[in-house]
Structure formats: C-alpha cells, structure tokens
Amino acid sequence: MIAKQTENYRRQQSSLDSVHRPAAEDSAEFPARAAIAGIARIVTNDDDGDYTITQQWWDSGADPTAWADATSPGGLVSAQARDINQRGDGRAGQIVRFWQGRNMSGGLETWIDLGWISTGFWAEITANAADGTNRWKYAFSEVYKSSSGYGGWATLSGGRSGTTSTNPARNTIEDMNTGAGAHVEGCGVDVDHLDTSDWTFEIMPCTTGNIVWMREVARGETIEYWFSYANGVDGECD
C-alpha cells in the first residue's frame, strides 16, 4: 500500500515538474549566458532612461580600496541597461546596482536602480565666495578616512570636487537667508540683533577646512552639490 502511494506521488510530482520547470539556460528558448547581478558604473547617459554601464569589481588592493572596471570575459563591459523607474537623471561615473532578468520574449534585459546607492560623500570645504546676502558658494574636494581620530582625512585622488565658479557646493541652511531686517536666518539668528549701537556681528560662511557630508542633487540631468552646516556668527563690540 505504501509503495503504491509513493509511486503515485512520484508520478504526480513528475507531471507538475513538466509544467512548471523553466527551460534550461542552454535551450533554444533562452540565450546560453546566465543572468547576473552586481554593482556597475554608468559610462554614458543615453537619454530616456537608457544607459551604457560597465560592471564593477571591488579592488581590495587599491589604496584607498575602491570599485574598478570589470574586464571581459567574465565581466559586463559597455552593456546597455535601463533604469527600473526609467529615470533619466543618472550621470556618467555614478555607481549603481544592476541585475538581469527575462523579458516577455525570453530575452535577457539589464536593469539598474539609480536610487539604490546613496550619492553622499565626505568632502572638505576649501574656499568660499559670496552668492548673495548671507549666502556663499563653496569649493570642495572629496576626502576619505586615511587614519583614525581627528585629522585622519585625505583627498581622494580622482574624487569629486568643485570650485566657487565651476560645480560649486551650496549650504541648505543658507537657502532661506535674505539678510533683511526682522528676518530669522537659517542658522536661527535674527538679523536685527547682529548690528546695534553696542556691537557689530555678522553671519559667517562655512569655514575652510571643515569636513562635511556632501550630497548630489539632481536637477534634470544636471548635478548640484549641497551640504548642511549651521553658520556661526562673529564680530566685536563697538
């Protein structure tokens, strides 16, 4: 009795497998290459959510360690891909997640997600220039942690950077600043209280040498750089 039930179960399972088992990778229905997933660098933005990407392999021997372009065979090099949300604001050099899957025709498609990896990075403020009243544009250089504790920062070779005239960074705290009387600026200071008969003070820019967390903010296909720093106030008694 048990043997008969076991045989019936095996026949039923075999029948189900013949219906649900996917075609083999090397069958005529599907390409021979298996789907892969990993990290990639955007090579070019090809418009309308389409991109050319190259897979990245982690180079643990680099100083500092970093992602490096994969090589073929074995790596995905200059491959066509599409953002999962069809976003068109990806930039060349951006590091993204990628994966592959089948389309309705059985072909292999490559997808990326522009929002999967944070676009923030550590940067050192290197200069500033006025950009209105109590607002500044900032030069910066991307940095990384080279040793422990305070002062253990170093400029990243080939990292992101900007000057006060080209790709400058701006401070979100300064965004609401106007310099007008009876107005509380972004750092929480009322402008009317800065200049009196007894003292003269003013709002100061982010100081050169400060390490800040920098963000890339997309404006269409243009990237702007923003960070947050609560401005100090300095001055002297009259």
* pTM for this prediction: 0.54
pLDDT score for 237: 78
pLDDT score for 238: 66
The ranges assigned to domains in the chain are 28-113, 121-237
* One CATH from 2.60.120, 1.20.1280, 2.40.50, 1.20.1530 for 28-113: 2.40.50
Q: What pLDDT, in 10s, does the model give residues 207-224?
A: 999 999 999 887 776 889
List, in sequence order, every beta strand (DSSP E) within the chain: 37-45, 50-59, 66-69, 79-83, 95-102, 108-113, 121-130, 136-145, 153-155, 161-162, 169-171, 199-203, 211-219, 222-227, 233-237
% of the chain with per-residue pLDDT over 70: 79
